[in-house]
Amino acid sequence: MKMEKKIESTTKDEISLRELIIKVKELLRYVIKRWYILIVLGGIGYLIGFLYESRKPILYTATTTFILESANSKPSGGNLSSLGALLGVGVGDNSSNLFQGKSLIELYKSRTILQEVLLSPMENDTSTLLIQKLFLINEDLYKNLSEKNSNKIADIKFLLSPDINEQRLRDSIIAGAVGVVKAQYFSVGLPSSGGGIVKVDVNAEDEVFAKSFNHYLVDKVNELYMEIKAGKSYETVKILQHKVDSARQVMLTAISRGASAKDQTPNLNPTRSTIRTVPSQDAQATAEAARAIYTEFNRNLEMAKLSISKEAPLLKILDEATYPLSRKVPDKNQKGMIGSILFIFLGVSGLSVIYIFKEIMKEAE
């Protein structure tokens, strides 16, 4: 009895599999008979893909790569420590774990950094800012501006130093540009743990804009990186540089004052030499004192620069963006083929659904 049930079950399974194969063949026959529908859908898909890709502009890519060393230890400070104590500035590196992983990307996406870059002049036209060029090459961004805002784009004074009443409007325009640039125009490759090669790509519709943006972005981020990694060292150097410049100016002024005192009394009566001697000697004394101060501060400045060069992390540009930039031309045929395949697939799926629905309706009758 059990044997008979087993044979019957096997026979039913074989019949079900045979019916399934027959149904699939009928389905394929049904779809193939309507080949003209698939050809029409394929043509429509190709046309849509071709036209969609035709709307895309040629993109220029500016790429800069540089070596970045991750600092794992704090610098000793050396001469900078003593100089910092002398000037009342603390010297030390509090950023040994900074700019690792996602923090480097966030630095490149900083609103302040991107704003400074966008407000920089184009390399080939200093009368045009990058943000102005951005609005010219990005039609969608330009259209999003209201009519009262659009006439402000050509006003460099408004963008760089707006009236206090227009500050809000200016910030709104720049914020919109920063958001678009951050989302669409550049990418940063993270370094491997412990140091590696960082790659910064800028893609834009204009070749000069892409190179200019890449140049300013890398320079500003790397400058900020070096300042923070060096801690207070750069502050010490800036203070010393200011004191050197001040002492030099005092020295030159005193020398000029002494020479002027002699020129103002060319035929002086010898009995009244104090008129010339006192101002001249006063200027000479001031010049000598300023010279001594200048010499000492200049020596300390060179020591500070030498210490920074020893303690600074390794950051070396490997490849800079140069003309002509690489171009990415839209592949219209490729997108057309993808559109064609997609529409044919949708057509086959739709015909299959229709066939299955008709079979179900027949069985229901």
N-term to C-term CA, the chain: 37
Residues 214 and 151 in one domain: yes
Beta-ladder partners of 66: 198, 317
The verdict on 50 and 65 lying in the same domain is no
Q: Determine the angle formed by the axes of helices 207-229 and 130-137, rounding to 10 degrees.
A: 140
Are 159 and 260 members of one domain?
no
Q: Which residue range forms the structural domain that includes residue 294?
A: 238-309
At residue 152, what are phi and psi to the nearest 5 degrees? -85, -20
Domain count along the chain? 3
136-144: Cβ within 8 A, 24+ apart: 136/206, 137/57, 137/204, 137/205, 137/206, 137/209, 138/180, 138/205, 141/176, 141/177, 141/180, 144/176
Rounded to an integer, what distance in angstroms lies between the CA atom of residue 182 and that of residue 118? Answer: 11
Q: Is-above-0.85 flag for pTM?
A: no
- More confident: 13 or 38: 38
CA–CA separation, 317 and 67 (whole Å): 6
162 plus 269 within the same structural domain: no
For residues 114-138, average pLDDT: 91
Write the pLDDT tens digit of every residue in 176-218: 899 999 999 989 886 555 557 788 999 999 999 999 999 999 9
At 120, the pLDDT band (50, 70, 90 cuts) reads very high
Lowest mean pLDDT of 47-61, 112-126, 140-154, 291-305, name the range.
Answer: 140-154
The rounded Cα 284 to chain-centroid distance in angstroms is 53
Whether 151 and 183 map to the same domain: the answer is yes
Q: In this structure, what is the dihedral angle of CA atoms 313, 319, 321, 327, given to the nearest 10 degrees?
A: -130
Which span out of 143-147, 254-258, 331-335 was modeled with the highest average pLDDT? Answer: 331-335
More confident residue, 138 or 12: 138
**pLDDT higher than threshold 60 for residue 99:** no
What pLDDT, on a 0 to 100 scale, did the predictor assign at position 100?
A: 53
Residue 224 shares a structural domain with residue 293 = no
Q: What percent of the chain has pLDDT over 90?
A: 18
Pair (49, 109) in one structural domain: no
List the single range of 77-81, 241-245, 328-332, 345-349 with lowest mean pLDDT.
77-81
